[in-house]
Structure 1
Amino acid sequence: MGLMRYFRTGAAAPAPVAARVEPPLVASAPAVQSESQWRGFSVGSGVSKAGVRVDERTALTIPATLQALRIISGVFAMAPLHMYGRTPEGRTRLDDHPAEILLAERPNAHQSPFALFELIMSDLLLAGNFYAYVSLNARGEPVALTRLRPGSVVVAEYFDRAEGQILFYDATLPDGSRERFAARNIWHIAGLSRDGLIGLNPVQYAREALGGALATSEHAHRFWSRGGKPSTVLTTEQKVSPEDKTRIRADWERLHAGLEGSATAVLDQDLKAAFLSHNFKDSQFLETRQFQVVDLARIWGVPPHLIFELSKATFSNIKQQSLEFVTYHLGPHFARVAGAATRQFGGNGTYFEHLTDALVRGDLKSRMEAYWLQRQMGMVNANDLLRRENQNNLPGEAGTEYWRPANMALAGQPVTPAQNQGASDAQ
């Protein structure tokens, strides 16, 4: 029984023209269905040692986490992804290729490219994996991407000695149907991985750090829910029965607990009130919360100043950290997503690459100085520079001409009289 027949779906999608014939699945059938092969079925969550549940929803209730994800996902989505083809002169952008139109213009009927890539990065950060169902037309070209929840996809692997590892995806589609799909039908981007198949779930592995931040925040909320009043102990030298203790406690909490507990206490039976004060300074409560913000910045990979932790910030180091953010924090994500797009949608001589020019633009003075140097060196013409500034081309040949300094010549060649005259005129 052939592998494609074994994994035949209820409603078969049109096969691409150059579809590869899958290898037969005979003796390896039980291995594909083995429990040890089913990974990533659910997004990890659980109770931390601090006693609070940590999952995607609770992690997003931490302000530092929400801001970190908003920053890294939004900035990542600002850099468009384009498809290029290699040519003898270098490369050219394939604006009419179906994959270019899909990822750079219209990924589906309801999302913009920015919204799609923001969602991709959010899934990678919170679940470690991004999955999308690839809708193909009759020619096998991609026409739409439908995001699949990370917990609704299971990766099954098959090993062939001739071709290596082959992946299949058991996915639940938005219409509720569950089928097994070949890799060409599921676009899978895995984050940091230990097996090369499934990305690690950051929320699961950072559970204790996230749980500590949640527990600290809950402690502060509980304190202020009591109106910021410390716990109270009522003491007396007289013997008090258990029934009286219950009644006295109920009366005290009714009058003095909660935000409105500001009534005047009148005590009898020689009762005295003692307050168990909370010294936040000695317990370093504020320092703990400040450290947790830095710890969260480490988890999500953003400089602390981007989530408004400015205690160690200066003008010079913020500028440097902002440049490092694009190189060291976003750079691996750009390479990961572009590589996954090339693997899924690219062919021979084609590849995808993010345009990050907008993220590394300097101030106006620095840009103009860099443009002037490039113009003098003959690297660009006027129209090239105008397009970088989102302006229209110059009319005629003025915008297409390249400059060359008059006092320069090729090394190893004699200087001609015309060149000498040009150099004299330039002086």
Structure 2
Amino acid sequence: MFEMLFRSAPSGENPAVPLSELASDSWLCTGAVSENTALTLSAVYACIGVLGRSMGQLPLHVMRKVDGEVVRATDHPAYYLLHDEPNQWQTSYSWRETSMFHLGGWGNSYSYIKRSRKGEIRSLEFLKPIEVALMKSNSGRYVYRVTNDELGQAGISPFDMLHIKAIGADSKIGKSPITQCRESFALGLAAQNYGNQFFAGGGRPTAIVSAKSALNKDSWGILKDAWKSAKNALKRDDNTTLLLPTELEYKSLTIPPEDAQFLDTRKFNRSEIAGIYNVPAHMINDLEKATFSNISEQAIQFVRHTMTPWIVNYEQEINRKVFTEAERKAGYYVKFNLNGLLRGTAKERAEFYTKGIRDGWMSRNEVRALEEMNRVDGLDDFILSADLQPKQPEAVNE
């Protein structure tokens, strides 16, 4: 039922191709599994959506470290671009969400760093994976060849291309997770198509009505009229009792073993896809094995082991491409704020702040800043609870 023949599909590499075209039965004839066809699976769309929304909601700031002090570098041209509006079509959230969408689907995310003649950064122009190809010239130099409506055909230096990569076979280009695990996604597509065809054909009958005695031509007509009348009554009122002639027997059918296996296959494939993207199952609404105790721990693991590697990937690529060497030496860098994902309940935050203030490593104005409150005079001092005060030396009696 789930056997498929795999081959590449050039049209599936293009994010601009409508999913409705690729989700038709045409791909089933060839067995093609592409990024766009895989995105018709709810589990794939949900996983990439979780990654994109998580990356997009994180505050992103340009920072500068000078003489041991770290401040927000709001005077740098890149601050507004990264924090608010990288280009005329996207907000910072949308730019990063779409970037993760391309990484989860195609394994590569591209943004053209547009600079002025003086070298100052002006915008981050988002590019689709289908529009970009890494080429090697006859002189041995690499260049990104871009083909789209806005730039036409252009060659962009690697220095001016913000290129975030998923795990790949080499250091220059990332590889699509869907390409890497094609068979797993093909299984999900085959199971989904099987279910669509099953229900499109009316599904399996839920019951059998059999006659207890032989039927002649006249009684057969009476039977069909009685059954039609009973079904029409049932449509008008779901709670209507189904009345049948005395010579008929109604037998309800339970779900057959092969259909139960189909449901298990769908569940397994959903869990498998979540594992490929390293997304906890409960985050894509699979709550079968979730409990109140393990969901909290899984959320922390998601931040540590799923989002943090991506965040480091983004930070390092932005730092080495957006800032010049002189700016990096001057202390400029970008930083994602993970507090957006790790922010606890009001009770948990109160306990955390209390410990920080009581132990003397956090001031009360720092707490107010974290809670988006204005500073208050006199709350910058660090305090220490009485039981944590340093022990005073005992007086020596002479």
Give the TM-score band, short-chain normalised.
Answer: 0.7 to 0.9
- Answer whether contact 1:81 1:338 (CA < 8 A) is retained: no
In structure 2, the residue matched to 1:415 is 393
In structure 1, the residue matched to 2:120 is 141
SS in 2 for 1:196: coil
Deviation at 1:354, TM superposition (A): 0.8
Between the aligned partners of 1:44 and 1:179, the Cα distance in structure 2 is 19
In structure 2, the residue matched to 1:421 is none
- Answer whether contact 1:41 1:152 (CA < 8 A) is retained: no
Given the superposition, is the C-alpha separation of residues 211 and 282 from structure 1 closer, same or farther in structure 2, using an over 3 Å criterion? closer
Deviation at 1:196, TM superposition (A): 0.7
Deviation at 1:296, TM superposition (A): 1.0
Matched, 1:375 2:357: yes
- What is the percent sequence identity of the aligned residues? 27
Between the aligned partners of 1:283 and 1:404, the Cα distance in structure 2 is 63
Between the aligned partners of 1:143 and 1:301, the Cα distance in structure 2 is 35
Between the aligned partners of 1:392 and 1:369, the Cα distance in structure 2 is 21
In structure 2, the residue matched to 1:399 is 379
One-letter code aligned to 1:317: N
Q: 1:107 aligns with which of 67, 74, 86?
A: 86
Q: Deviation above 6 Å: which 4+ runs of structure 1?
A: 44-50
In structure 2, the residue matched to 1:366 is 348
- Answer whether contact 1:41 1:151 (CA < 8 A) is retained: no
In structure 2, the residue matched to 1:33 is none
Between the aligned partners of 1:307 and 1:408, the Cα distance in structure 2 is 46
Between the aligned partners of 2:144 and 2:12, the Cα distance in structure 1 is 14
In structure 2, the residue matched to 1:73 is 52
Given the superposition, is the C-alpha separation of residues 132 and 173 from structure 1 closer, same or farther in structure 2, using an over 3 Å criterion? farther
- Answer whether contact 1:83 1:99 (CA < 8 A) is retained: yes
Given the superposition, is the C-alpha separation of residues 69 and 289 from structure 1 closer, same or farther in structure 2, using an over 3 Å criterion? same
Between the aligned partners of 1:384 and 1:79, the Cα distance in structure 2 is 20
Q: 2:150 aligns with which of 175, 182, 187?
A: 175
In structure 2, the residue matched to 1:312 is 289
Given the superposition, is the C-alpha separation of residues 166 and 193 from structure 1 closer, same or farther in structure 2, using an over 3 Å criterion? farther
Residue by residue, what CA displacement relative to the aligned partner does 1:400-427 show, whole Å, maximum 9, x if unpaired?
222133455668xx6388xxxxxxxxxx
Q: Quick check: 138-147 or 124-133, which moved more?
A: 138-147
Deviation at 1:166, TM superposition (A): 5.7
Matched, 1:388 2:370: yes
Between the aligned partners of 1:331 and 1:218, the Cα distance in structure 2 is 36
Residue by residue, what CA displacement relative to the aligned partner does 1:169-204 show, whole Å, maximum 9, x if unpaired?
111143251122212322211111221100011121
Residue by residue, what CA displacement relative to the aligned partner does 1:7-36 show, whole Å, maximum 9, x if unpaired?
xxxxxxxxxxxxxxxxxxxxxxxxxxxxxx
In structure 2, the residue matched to 1:256 is none
TM-score (norm 1): 0.69
Q: 1:213 aligns with which of 174, 188, 192?
A: 188
SS in 2 for 1:284: helix
- Answer whether contact 1:52 1:214 (CA < 8 A) is retained: no
Residue by residue, what CA displacement relative to the aligned partner does 1:344-379 show, whole Å, maximum 9, x if unpaired?
112223222210112111221111111011112222
Between the aligned partners of 2:346 and 2:36, the Cα distance in structure 1 is 42
Query: Within 5 A, what are the aligned runs for 1:4-153?
Result: 43=13, 52-153=31-132
One-letter code aligned to 1:363: T
Residue by residue, what CA displacement relative to the aligned partner does 1:291-315 show, whole Å, maximum 9, x if unpaired?
0110110122201111111221111
Between the aligned partners of 2:385 and 2:148, the Cα distance in structure 1 is 62
Between the aligned partners of 1:171 and 1:357, the Cα distance in structure 2 is 37
- Answer whether contact 2:359 2:388 (CA < 8 A) is retained: no
Q: Quick check: 374-383 or 300-309, which moved more?
A: 374-383
Between the aligned partners of 1:166 and 1:376, the Cα distance in structure 2 is 58
Deviation at 1:159, TM superposition (A): 11
Between the aligned partners of 1:200 and 1:44, the Cα distance in structure 2 is 15
One-letter code aligned to 1:203: I
Deviation at 1:94, TM superposition (A): 1.1
In structure 1, the residue matched to 2:268 is 291
- Answer whether contact 2:59 2:340 (CA < 8 A) is retained: no
SS in 2 for 1:73: helix
In structure 1, the residue matched to 2:173 is 198
Between the aligned partners of 2:133 and 2:160, the Cα distance in structure 1 is 14
Deviation at 1:57, TM superposition (A): 2.1
Given the superposition, is the C-alpha separation of residues 71 and 408 from structure 1 closer, same or farther in structure 2, using an over 3 Å criterion? closer
Given the superposition, is the C-alpha separation of residues 173 and 353 from structure 1 closer, same or farther in structure 2, using an over 3 Å criterion? same
User: Between Structure 1 and Structure 2, how many residues are aligned?
Assistant: 325
Between the aligned partners of 2:316 and 2:346, the Cα distance in structure 1 is 33
Task: Could you tell me which runs of 5 or more consecutive residues in structure 1 were left unpaired when the two chains were aligned.
Answer: 1-39, 231-276, 418-427
Which of the pair is proportionally richer in helix?
Answer: 2
Task: Could you tell me which runs of 5 or more consecutive residues in structure 2 were left unpaired when the two chains were aligned.
Answer: 1-9, 16-21, 206-253
SS in 1 for 2:13: coil
Given the superposition, is the C-alpha separation of residues 278 and 69 from structure 1 closer, same or farther in structure 2, using an over 3 Å criterion? same
- Answer whether contact 1:49 1:208 (CA < 8 A) is retained: no
One-letter code aligned to 1:106: E
Query: Within 5 A, what are the aligned runs for 1:262-281?
Result: 279-281=256-258
Q: 1:302 aligns with which of 274, 279, 282?
A: 279
Given the superposition, is the C-alpha separation of residues 50 and 330 from structure 1 closer, same or farther in structure 2, using an over 3 Å criterion? farther
